[in-house]
Every structure is written in C-alpha cells, then in structure tokens.
Amino acid sequence: MGIIITIASGKGGVGKTTVVANLGVALAKLGKKVLLIDADVAMANLSLILGLQMSPITLHEVLTGESTIDDAIYDGPGNVELIPSGLSLENYKKVDSARLKSIISTLKDKYDYILLDAAAGIEKNVQSALAAADHVLIVTTPDSPSVADALKTKIVAQKLGSKPIGIIINMIKKQKGEIEKKQLMKMMELPSYGEIPYDENVRQTFLEKKQEPVILRNINSPASKSFEKISQKMTGVKIVEKEKKESFLKRLLNKIFKRQGEPQ
C-alpha cells in the first residue's frame, strides 16, 4: 500500500513544483515506484519541468469525467510516472476537484509514493489536494511571510483530516535575517524534512532546450544533493552515504594493492 503525500505551501513560488519533480526522481532512484500528480489544476507547471507539456489527456479530463485515470498516466523522466494537469482554461472551469480524493485512492496499491503538487493558498482546489493526501509536507522559504502562510496551510490540512508531517525549507541563502531551521520548526511545530539551498542550477531548468529537473541534469549541484537527502530521510535508506563509503574503501584498497603489485 502506497502513501499519498501532498506538497503544499501557503505562499506561492516557494518551490512546491520543484520539490515534487526532484524529490519524485530521487525516490525513484532509490527503487521506489513513484507517481507525480499535478494537482495545481489552474496553473499547471509540473509537466513543464518534466518536459511533458504536450500530453493529450490530463487530470482535467479525468475530473470532468471524460477520461479514466489510467488514460492520464504518462512515463516521465527518471523513472517517475506523471498525471499532468491541463493547460486549457475552458476545461479548468468544468473541473470538479472534490473527486480528486476518491480517484487517487484507487491508485494507492500500484505505487510506493504518490506526490501531489498543490497550488498555493487555501482555496477550494488546494483543499481538495490537501484532503486527498495521507500526509502533507509544507514547503516554505526562511522568511516570515512564507512561514505565516505555511501555518495557515498546516491548520487547513489538519481540519481536512490529513496529517502535516513536516516542513521543507527551500531557497536558503544563509543571509542575515533569514529564519533559522530551529526557530522555523518551533514556529511550525513540525520537524524539518530537509533544507534546500538557493541554487542557480535549479532555475536553469527552463533555460535549457531539454527541460529536466535539476537532479537529472546536475546530480552534484547543492540542490540535487538536498533532494537526495530528503528522499533518504523519507525512506529511511542511507544509500548514498553507503555508496560513498564503499567507493572510498574500494579506492583505498585498489591503491594499496596496486602499490603492492607495482615493481620495486
């Protein structure tokens, strides 16, 4: 049985879509079966990051009852699957997002993780995305307007019966005046699932010809490393550290044996 996690925020533009795409790929890299759903039915962005903007059947058609959910699932990059949202404003008006929860619950057995990309705010469609989740992860930047809005999201999620499990702090610049992780956790009364630095490599996604999440383009960028860490925290696996240790040990042993084999 999989777990449905909605990635939400109060304030817009704090990095929800970025987190969904990159965290999804990071979880898939750990061998998890991952489905990403663009639940931002008004301003669909997730398919743009994943380079799948031309998908003919989307969540819109599923929510209007024109298509089945299986017809709206596409193979994305990095072994993730995606249900995109539609770009048409016409269909958006007809969408009944209240059906989201019952529709998504039918997919639970097929995936380890279903990540929903919510819109900002607390309006009706956001509430549907929050209500559809088992757990909610709240993305915030380290400043007071973002945290104040994140608190509202937490309260709304609780009222709707889904569990806020933690926060993800994004775009950390380590500038004077930024709210520190410890204080942020205290204000939110939630643990931190990860801290992502401000990283120009993330923005590069839309400047490249082939649009891909940063974790696929530049695995060594600071943000990519953070996404890997978050995925490890979520799954309880420490694969990267282990691999690193092994390769270090391997390199050391190779060096020793090579030296021993070398002519004196």
Tell me whether residue 79 or residue 201 sits nearer to ligand ATP (CB atom): 201
Query: With binding defined as CB under 6 A, does residue 13 bind ligand ATP?
Result: yes
Query: With binding defined as CB under 6 A, does residue 12 bind ligand ATP?
Result: yes
Which two structure tokens, joined as six digits, stand for 138? 């709240």
CB of 77 to Mg ion, least distance (A): 18
Q: Binder to ligand ATP among 38, 40, 81, 212 (CB under 6 A)?
A: 40
CB 148 within 8 A of CB 18: no
Task: Report the distance separating Cα 21 and Cα 77, nearest Å.
Answer: 10
Tell me whether residue 16 or residue 32 sits nearer to Mg ion (CB atom): 16
Query: With binding defined as CB under 6 A, does residue 14 bind ligand ATP?
Result: yes
What does 18 bind: Mg ion, ligand ATP, none (CB cut-off 5 to 8 Å by kind)? ligand ATP
Instruction: Please list every residue from 193 through 212 that binds ligand ATP, using CB under 6 A.
Output: 196, 198-199, 202-203, 205
How many other C-beta atoms can be found within 10 angstroms of the C-beta atom of residue 38? 30
Task: Report the distance separating Cα 18 and Cα 202, nearest Å.
Answer: 8
Task: Report the distance separating Cα 42 and Cα 85, nearest Å.
Answer: 8
Tell me whether residue 45 or residue 55 sits nearer to Mg ion (CB atom): 45
CB of 86 to ligand ATP, least distance (A): 15
Number of residues in contact with ligand ATP under rule CB under 6 A: 21
CB 187 within 8 A of CB 147: yes
What does 85 bind: Mg ion, ligand ATP, none (CB cut-off 5 to 8 Å by kind)? none
Query: With binding defined as CB under 6 A, does residue 16 bind ligand ATP?
Result: yes
Query: With binding defined as CB under 6 A, does residue 223 bind ligand ATP?
Result: yes
Give the residue carrying structure tokens 């249900």: 83
Could you tell me the CA-to-CA distances from 140 to 9, 115, 250 in Å, in that order?
6, 17, 40
Instruction: Please list every residue from 92 through 121 that binds ligand ATP, using CB under 6 A.
Output: 119-120
Q: Which of 66, 17, 10 is nearest to 40 (CA)?
A: 17
CB 179 within 8 A of CB 147: yes
Q: Binder to ligand ATP among 4, 6, 15, 227 (CB under 6 A)?
A: 15
DSSP state of 109: G
Which residue ranges make up the site for Mg ion (CB under 5 A)?
Answer: 16-17, 45
Task: Kindly give, in sequence order, each residue whose CB lies less than 8 Å from that of residue 246, ignoring residues fewer than 6 positions away.
Answer: none
Q: Binder to ligand ATP among 95, 171, 179, 230 (CB under 6 A)?
A: 171
DSSP state of 205: G
Task: Report the distance separating Cα 171 and Cα 51, nearest Å.
Answer: 23
Query: With binding defined as CB under 6 A, does residue 18 bind ligand ATP?
Result: yes
Residues found near ligand ATP in the complex (CB under 6 A): 9, 12-18, 40, 45, 119-120, 170-171, 196, 198-199, 202-203, 205, 223
